[in-house]
Chains A and B, each alone.
Chain A
């Protein structure tokens, strides 16, 4: 697990955020090819995105989102220099937060 990569750009009053998270996103349906044992589910369940401490978007996910998830969204507002904060929580109790400035 590493940092969340975030790129946020404001243009004509709309901020576009693109982010890349690092996560295995195991559905729990796959089996280990060698042992045949099921691989336990391990995926991000929730992602919250904040702009200046205000939640602008919450994503609820299943294991059906691809490994190392990509997420992009847009919101009205945001100036260059404003802080964007993205936090994910997974089904095993882990979480991670990344921040970036709007450019």
Chain B
């Protein structure tokens, strides 16, 4: 048992060295080094964990100030157009979740001072579920959900 732990510790310190080598060899992406891509949030299997990791809280206030435009029925889950608009004076981030996906967090958009709280993109949905949008404002998280019926899922294969 003790031997085992020592081994893990050893592996750990070796691992740290290997990361440097991997970066040098271009095995690790410069993207992940440059920016803080929130891996834990994106890997999270439920929305609440993803939100806590991404925005520090999962308490969302349902708000009609958050508008989601998405189709009622998506024939192809691989391409579901989603537009999110926040009728707020200031938004820090806009995040989009597909509640039925194995990792629900799809995208998070960081706004700048000049941003208008508006984003539009196309997402993959595994099955019929809610598209959830969360707008981070200085007063907290505002959210809305829009159910989308998916005829053919877009995540498997």
Chain A residues within CB distance 8 Å of chain B:
14, 27, 29-31, 33, 39, 45-46, 51, 54-67, 69-77, 89-93, 95
Task: Compute how far the CA of A54 lies from the CA of B113 in the bound complex, rounded to whole angstroms.
Answer: 10
Residue pair A60, B38 in contact (C-beta under 8 Å): yes
With an 8 A cutoff between CB atoms, is B156 at the interface? yes
Count of chain B residues with a beta carbon within 8 Å of a chain A beta carbon:
42
Q: Given A45-B31, A64-B98, check contact A31 B157 (CB 8 Å).
A: yes
Q: Using a CB-CB cutoff of 8 Å, which residues 95-123 of chain B contact chain A?
A: 98, 101-103, 105-112, 114-116, 118-123
Stretch in B22-30, B60-68, B140-148 with 4+ CB within 8 Å of A: B22-30
Task: Compute how far the CA of A62 lies from the CA of B119 in the bound complex, rounded to whole angstroms.
Answer: 16
Task: Point out the residue from B31, B111, B119, B155 that lies within 8 Å of A72, measured CB to CB.
Answer: B119
Task: Point out the residue from B30, B107, B110, B114 that lies within 8 Å of A65, measured CB to CB.
Answer: B107
With an 8 A cutoff between CB atoms, is B2 at the interface? no
Task: Point out the residue from A39, A57, A90, A95 that lies within 8 Å of B115, measured CB to CB.
Answer: A57
Task: Point out the residue from B31, B37, B101, B109 that lies within 8 Å of A64, measured CB to CB.
Answer: B101
Residue pair A69, B112 in contact (C-beta under 8 Å): no
Task: Point out the residue from A33, A57, A65 that lies within 8 Å of B111, measured CB to CB.
Answer: A57
Q: DSSP majority for the A interface?
A: strand
Residue pair A61, B107 in contact (C-beta under 8 Å): yes
Contact with A along B66-91 (1 / 0, CB 8 A): 00000000000011110100000000
Q: Which residue of B lies closest to A74 (CB)?
A: B116
Task: Point out the residue from A54, A76, A95 that lies within 8 Å of B31, measured CB to CB.
Answer: A95
Q: Which residue of A lies closest to B107 (CB)?
A: A61
Residue pair B103, A64 in contact (C-beta under 8 Å): yes
Task: Compute how far the CA of A1 lies from the CA of B28 in the bound complex, rounded to whole angstroms.
Answer: 20
Q: Given A54-B112, A58-B110, check contact A91 B31 (CB 8 Å).
A: yes
Task: Compute how far the CA of A54 lies from the CA of B29 in the bound complex, rounded to whole angstroms.
Answer: 24
- Chain B residues with Cβ under 8 A from A75's Cβ? 112, 114-116
Task: Point out the residue from B26, B81, B107, B155 that lies within 8 Å of A27, measured CB to CB.
Answer: B155
